[in-house]
Amino acid sequence: MKAVQFNRSNGISFQQAEIASPQLNDDHVLVKVEQVGLSFIDAKIANNHDIDVPDKVFGVDAVGRVEKSCKTGFPERGSRVFWHGDISSAGVMSEYVSVPSHALTVLPPKVDTAMAAATLAPAMSAFIALFKLQLNSGDTIMVESAHLPVGQMALQFAKQQGITVVASTTPEQQKLVRSLGADAVYTAAEFSGLADFLSQQLGIRELDGVIDLTAQHTEALINQLVFCGRVSCVGGLPSIQQTTLMAKAPNIGIVSLCGSWLSNSICAQQRMAFVGDALAEKLSQGEITLPNHSKIQPNHTELVTALAQLAQPDNDRFFSVSLKF
């Protein structure tokens, strides 16, 4: 079968190749891939020089149709499915992929295939980040770097839950986050003036929760939480002063889509599929907006350009790759 392989032996490069078709286990499903989503996870893989696997099939997020079902019969042959894959195994940018049936989510018929692929990792990360915050309607959160794809998803989902959202972003992208529903937009590069900003804009000085996407201002954001407030860290957890931790006693949650596979937890992989169900429902109801969605082809130039954009701190774009070889 045809596939797109990734190699870093002489700089980042992608090439189409012929590889062996996958072999199925009893609990695996054969899926014909239609679209692949690119996200911040793919950008990290491409730019992680500690990972040097030659000729690895690229990609972790995909949408496709079931070509051959497993012994349980679910999902049925012909079903359209999507999933977030295992970064430690072969990627999804190939004609066919073998996927554990419990990791798949069936897509409703009217959901756009390219949009589903583009939103997979950002939307799943946002769902999990919000779940870890355990907030209620009327609470106030900050989405740090809300212009990033995960931030755009988190902002929309939080507003749908009745949460007041303060979005931090660049001056150039404040129009974008306002269009997605942000109640207040903070554009300063540093967060020392955040308390005064909150007081002027919302009549409060502390936040109930934070979704921290970049790990660049984590301690400053924790200092702005109410006592025992909550923070979801999508970009990792940096070193934090003990005095800050003792003063605020924050509930800190780590978001890791890769963790369900790296921990080899079938239960966690099933829960990821349940998150996929929630995403599929929002897509089918038209509750997700993608202002900047680019559809690209699986060739070296377009893939390298897209990954470079995804790695930028001002990236606001979503990418899907059509696998019509």
The domain boundary, picked from 230, 254, 278, lies at 254
144 and 97 share a domain? no
10's CB contacts (< 8 A; 6+ apart) are: none
204 & 280 share domain: no
- So what's the pLDDT on residue 53? 60
Helix (H) or strand (E) holding 281: helix 266-284
For the chain, the C-alpha Rg in angstroms (whole number) is 20
Bridge partners, residue 212, by sequence = 233
- Are 42 and 109 found together in one domain? yes
101 and 138 inside one domain:
no
Q: Which residues of the chain, if any, have pLDDT below 50? A: none
Domain count along the chain: 2
Q: Contact 96/62 with Cβ under 8 angstroms?
A: no
Domain boundary among 234, 254, 274: 254
- Answer with the one of 254, 287, 310 that is the final residue of a domain: 254
The range of the structural domain enclosing residue 57 comes to 2-120+263-322
Distances (CA, A) of 277 to 14, 282, 307: 32, 9, 27
Same domain flag for 203 and 302: no
Q: Give yes or no: residues 126 and 220 share one domain.
A: yes
Q: What is the pTM of this model?
A: 0.95
Q: Is the link from the previous residue into 313 a cis peptide, with omega within 30 of 0?
A: no
Shared domain for 106 and 26, answered yes or no, is yes
One domain for residues 7 and 80: yes
Q: 85 and 9 in one domain?
A: yes
The reply to whether 239 and 273 lie within a common domain is no
Which DSSP state fits 21?
Answer: P
Predicted confidence at residue 25, as pLDDT, reads 84
For residue 239, the domain's CATH number is: 3.90.180.10
What is residue 72's predicted lDDT score, i.e. its pLDDT? 79
Q: Does 168 share its domain with 242? A: yes
How remote is the C-alpha of 263 from its chain's centroid? 19
Query: Would you give the DSSP letter of residue 202?
Result: H
Same domain, 129 and 242: yes
Q: Any idea what DSSP says for residue 11?
A: B
